[in-house]
Amino acid sequence: MTISTPGVTLGVVGGGQLGRMLAEAAAPLGVDLVVTDPSDPCPAAPVASDALVGDFDEASTVRAVAERADFLTFEIELTDPDVLERVAAETGTPVHPKPDTLRLIQDKLVQKERLGEAGVPVPAFRQVDDEDDLRAAGEELGYPLMLKAREGGYDGRGNVPVDAPDDVTAALDAIEGPAMAEEMIDFERELAVMGCLGDGERDTFPVTETIHREEILRESVSPARADEGVRERAREVAIDVLDAMEGRGVYGIELFETTDGEILLNEIAPRPHNSGHWTIEGCHTSQFEQHVRAVTGRALGTTDRRAPTVSANVLGDVDDRQPATLSGEESVFETPRAHLHWYGKQDVYRLRKMGHITLVGDGESTADLLADVRDLRDGLTFEN
Amino acid sequence: MTISTPGVTLGVVGGGQLGRMLAEAAAPLGVDLVVTDPSDPCPAAPVASDALVGDFDEASTVRAVAERADFLTFEIELTDPDVLERVAAETGTPVHPKPDTLRLIQDKLVQKERLGEAGVPVPAFRQVDDEDDLRAAGEELGYPLMLKAREGGYDGRGNVPVDAPDDVTAALDAIEGPAMAEEMIDFERELAVMGCLGDGERDTFPVTETIHREEILRESVSPARADEGVRERAREVAIDVLDAMEGRGVYGIELFETTDGEILLNEIAPRPHNSGHWTIEGCHTSQFEQHVRAVTGRALGTTDRRAPTVSANVLGDVDDRQPATLSGEESVFETPRAHLHWYGKQDVYRLRKMGHITLVGDGESTADLLADVRDLRDGLTFEN
């Protein structure tokens, strides 16, 4: 290959924070980004070569991006694999990961079925089309269980815990559509592995511990505070997951470490993932650079960690949607090895992901690092 | 202070590689860049919010940038301090570093006079307005000496060695304008310190060894392979230089380490500098993030080094100006901890700075790191 100017253009469906951080990582490699997103301006717009305005599944804008791009990828699962497939065929612009893999991942039932068949350990689950299905699942899997919308959920939306048979009707009403029931996992901790598929090579970033509340990621810790054997098992499962994926790119692989020390697959995201944001400072290659390398057919970079690293999400803390003005950020700027990442969203609302803070270690315990990054995060507010 | 969207806009006169790397560093902090540059598109354009086209000293475009910006800075000395000063006064947009400091630096004779008066050790020098002045300087300072254009030189342009009295006429003809003569320094090595002036604070990045050929920077090595005492003296001199500067920002301070172990000031650049590119991966805060923090009034970041780090410039290796297509870059992508930075210039010509490679250490000697980064650099070519 070569590098020139204008060089490789990477088309990205979605221009949120992931698109923004992809653009930040792409520029040094001589890769320009063209994104499409319904928001105008979207978070990626200031650092992308161009940002087209259109829904994630709008064929005309996805096509316009593909026509200007050498490679096409996506940073959100809400795009339409049929559109991606057709546009890729018609424009000749290769798309990674493959639309078939996106289809598999979009339907959580199919995802669990296929990965289970491939030998990946998954929680027990049942297809749920009506109340009878859900009651039967309750008898077989036991209560409480987790009812999940098969499509469209993220950040916990589309997941409803079902505590007892009396909750069945309300739970199905909340989901409104095809669903699946999954046994509630009694986990010791949640883990995540960013996996990478390159051109004939694959790799994984170091295993990350993820801490959720209200099913939204709050903090990540790397290395995960799990036994070495557990971390190695998590890596093996991630490799098995990668073997079931088609197309180059970075994959966010969320796992449970059960109280028995087993690893079970939770969910997969076929893109850079919140649990890998710490790699920007914490690894020699970030997950965003890695995704750009992979999709554009470059060699993967090393996934080695530079130092123990934690990160904390900066979430909206106001009830009503309003223009976002964050205060308290001085202490982040004043803390050595703390890094603020602002996503460039104009409005804030409760629990919206507005940015994150990463804190790189210098000999402290990860517990101390985690306490420190929480203190920094807790000093921030969008309240006036 | 606060962060919001749209947030702070930083106006930058110049949109070359320094502007591009400033934009890459500014986005995570929620800072948008608007640049002005005569090239269309300029290297910074893909990652800047907007790039206006105009000469560096064109008042109308500098004013247009200032009107859209909260802070104004420059990444090239070829701008006009009078224009900056007037535009800042008329638009109310503060400019950093101060135009007075740019004036002082633009005239190499004034720079040396003022810094010498401030107690900074400088090589012996003389003002040269005609042949008699230069001959007198030769008698006092000895031959060979260096004749320098007082204004406009960079990357060695405007510097002419004078070996003997017979060369005086030709040297002055080559300079074509006001000049100064400087004793030729018998140096052990060249050093550089990136100094930072913040809002009531100042700091320096670790001392860097710089290796030039044909007066163009080829490689940088940090830590510099100089004695600890020499490095400490370099840092002291850099602090003295900073004390003579006005306005926030990062300053590139180039020094000689003489064969006697003395430190002498060579030149100052009132902006991020090629000798500090290694800080992007090599330090917890890069010189570019530091400049953005400083100019926008944020706290300075730590200047601590993450690991020993070297970098090598990727220079044009073709005689005729032509569209730039770099080959051989695969080995950079394949080398762990090697990072390619492409500047996005469309055309290449001999010795044009097209990019750089940084290699971060993992226990090797800096000599081995330097050999490795040279090998990577030597594997690149723009020849077809």
User: Is A333's Cβ below 8 Å from some Cβ in B?
Assistant: yes
Beta-ladder partners of B194 = B252
Residue in B6, B23, B325 closest to A47 by CB: B23
CB contact under 8 A, B24 and A24: yes
User: How many distinct structural domains can be found in chain A?
Assistant: 3
- pLDDT band at residue B156 under the 50/70/90 scheme: low
A74-78, A150-154, A203-207, B37-41: the lowest-pLDDT one: A150-154
B179 shares its domain with B197:
no
Tell me what percent of chain A is helix, strand and coil, each rounded to the nearest 5: 35, 30, 35
Residue B89 burial by Cβ neighbours in a 10 Å radius (0-12, 13-18, 19+): exposed
Is B296 part of a structural domain of the chain? yes
- pLDDT band at residue B154 under the 50/70/90 scheme: low
Residues contacting residue A282 through CB under 8 Å, at least 6 positions apart: A222, A305, A306, A307, A308, A309, A358, A360
Is B194 part of a structural domain of the chain? yes
Residues from chain A that touch B325, judged by Cβ atoms under 8 A, are 2-4
Dihedral sign of CA atoms B238, B244, B245, B249 in order: positive
Instruction: Identify the pLDDT of residue B177.
Output: 86
Q: What is the pLDDT of residues B251-284, one digit of tens each?
A: 999 999 999 999 999 999 999 999 999 999 999 9
B53 shares its domain with B166:
no
A306 shares its domain with A278:
yes
pTM: 0.96
CB contacts < 8 A, A to B, total 134
Which of A1, A3, A18 should we substitute to test contact with B (largest number of B Cβ atoms within 10 Å)? A3
Nearest CA in chain B to A5: B346
Q: What is the pLDDT of residues B173-193, one digit of tens each?
A: 998 889 999 999 999 999 999
CATH, residue B61: 3.40.50.20
Is B118 part of a structural domain of the chain? no
In whole angstroms, what is the distance from residue A53 CA to residue A83 CA? 16
Residue in B24, B49, B323 closest to A27 by CB: B24
What value does the mean pLDDT of chain B take? 96
A293/chain B closest Cα distance in angstroms = 9
Residue in A49, A304, A324 closest to B336 by CB: A304
In whole angstroms, what is the distance from residue A83 CA to residue A7 CA? 26
In whole angstroms, what is the distance from residue B117 CA to residue A75 CA? 57
Q: CA geometry: angle at B160 spanning B156 and B165, to 5°?
A: 165
A216 shares its domain with A335:
yes
User: Is A277's Cβ below 8 Å from some Cβ in B?
Assistant: no
Is B3 part of a structural domain of the chain? no
A347 shares its domain with A219:
yes
**DSSP tag of A335:** S
Q: Which of residues 34-53 of B touch A (CB under 8 A)?
A: 46-49
**Percentage of chain B exceeding pLDDT 90:** 95
Residues contacting residue A87 through CB under 8 Å, at least 6 positions apart: A59, A62, A63, A66, A72, A93, A95
Q: Pick from A137, A167, A183: which residue ends a domain?
A: A183
A238 shares its domain with A312:
yes
CB contact under 8 A, B299 and A333: yes
In whole angstroms, what is the distance from residue A348 CA to residue A326 CA? 9
Nearest CA in chain B to A284: B337
pLDDT at A23 over 70: yes
CB contact under 8 A, B326 and A29: no
Residue linked to tokens 């406009």: B152
Instruction: Identify the pLDDT of residue B50.
Output: 96
A165 shares its domain with A202:
no
Q: What is the pLDDT of residues B294-332, one digit of tens each?
A: 999 999 999 999 999 999 999 999 999 999 999 999 999
**DSSP tag of A152:** S
Tell me the residue range of the domain where B303 lies. Answer: 187-378
In whole angstroms, what is the distance from residue A329 CA to residue A380 CA? 6
Give B245-265 as a DSSP string. Answer: --SSEEEEEEEEEETTS-EEE
CB contact under 8 A, B299 and A5: no
B148 shares its domain with B224:
no
B354 shares its domain with B275:
yes
Q: Pick from B135, B168, B183: which residue ends a domain?
A: B183
Which of A12, A20, A47, A286 should we substitute to test contact with B (largest number of B Cβ atoms within 10 Å)? A47
Kindly state the average pLDDT of the residues A175-195: 94
**Percentage of chain A exceeding pLDDT 70:** 99
Instruction: Identify the pLDDT of residue B22.
Output: 98
Kindly state the average pLDDT of the residues A257-266: 96
Is A384 part of a structural domain of the chain? no
**Radius of gyration for chain A, computed over Cα atoms and rounded to the nearest angstrom:** 20
CB contact under 8 A, A342 and B46: no
Is B239 part of a structural domain of the chain? yes
Residues from chain B that touch A334, judged by Cβ atoms under 8 A, are 299
User: Is A284's Cβ below 8 Å from some Cβ in B?
Assistant: yes
Q: Pick from B183, B207, B227: which residue ends a domain?
A: B183
The residue type at A317: D
Is B112 part of a structural domain of the chain? no
A89/chain B closest Cα distance in angstroms = 28
Is B108 part of a structural domain of the chain? no
Residues contacting residue A322 through CB under 8 Å, at least 6 positions apart: A347, A348, A349, A382
Q: What is the pLDDT of residues A307-332, one digit of tens each?
A: 999 999 999 999 999 999 999 999 99
Nearest CA in chain A to B34: A46
User: Is A327's Cβ below 8 Å from some Cβ in B?
Assistant: yes
Instruction: Identify the pLDDT of residue B184.
Output: 94
Residues from chain A that touch B363, judged by Cβ atoms under 8 A, are none
Residue in B24, B30, B323 closest to A4 by CB: B323
Q: To which H or E segment does residue A197 belong?
A: strand A187-197
B277/chain A closest Cα distance in angstroms = 12
User: Is B321's Cβ below 8 Å from some Cβ in A?
Assistant: no
CATH, residue B163: 3.30.1490.20
Instruction: Identify the pLDDT of residue B176.
Output: 83
pLDDT at A154 over 80: no
CA A20 → CA A48, A94, A322, A356, distances in Å?
7, 21, 22, 13
B353/chain A closest Cα distance in angstroms = 14
B363/chain A closest Cα distance in angstroms = 13
According to DSSP H, which parts of chain B are helical?
17-26, 59-68, 81-91, 99-106, 108-117, 131-141, 168-175, 228-243, 279-282, 287-295, 330-334, 366-378
CATH, residue A356: 3.30.470.20
Residues from chain B that touch A24, judged by Cβ atoms under 8 A, are 24, 27-28, 47
Residue linked to tokens 């999400």: A313
In whole angstroms, what is the distance from residue A326 CA to residue A179 CA? 38
User: Is B69's Cβ below 8 Å from some Cβ in A?
Assistant: no
Closest by CA to A150, choosing from A214, A197, A107, A200, is A107
Q: What is the pLDDT of residues A35-64, one digit of tens each?
A: 999 999 999 999 999 999 999 999 999 999
Residues from chain B that touch A330, judged by Cβ atoms under 8 A, are 1, 299
CB contact under 8 A, A360 and B284: yes
Residues from chain A that touch B20, judged by Cβ atoms under 8 A, are 27
Dihedral sign of CA atoms B61, B63, B66, B68 in order: negative
pLDDT at A163 over 80: yes
A141 shares its domain with A267:
no
In whole angstroms, what is the distance from residue A4 CA to residue B323 CA? 8
pLDDT at A171 over 90: yes
CB contact under 8 A, B330 and A1: yes
Beta-ladder partners of A53 = A37
Lookup: tokens for B101: 């400091």
B43 shares its domain with B142:
no
CA B260 → CA B264, B320, B326, distances in Å?
11, 42, 42
B216 shares its domain with B342:
yes
Instruction: Identify the pLDDT of residue B57.
Output: 95
- pLDDT band at residue B1 under the 50/70/90 scheme: confident
Residues from chain B that touch A2, judged by Cβ atoms under 8 A, are 325-327, 329
Determine contact, residues B370/B219, Cβ cutoff 8 Å.
yes
CB contact under 8 A, B3 and A304: no
User: Is A365's Cβ below 8 Å from some Cβ in B?
Assistant: no
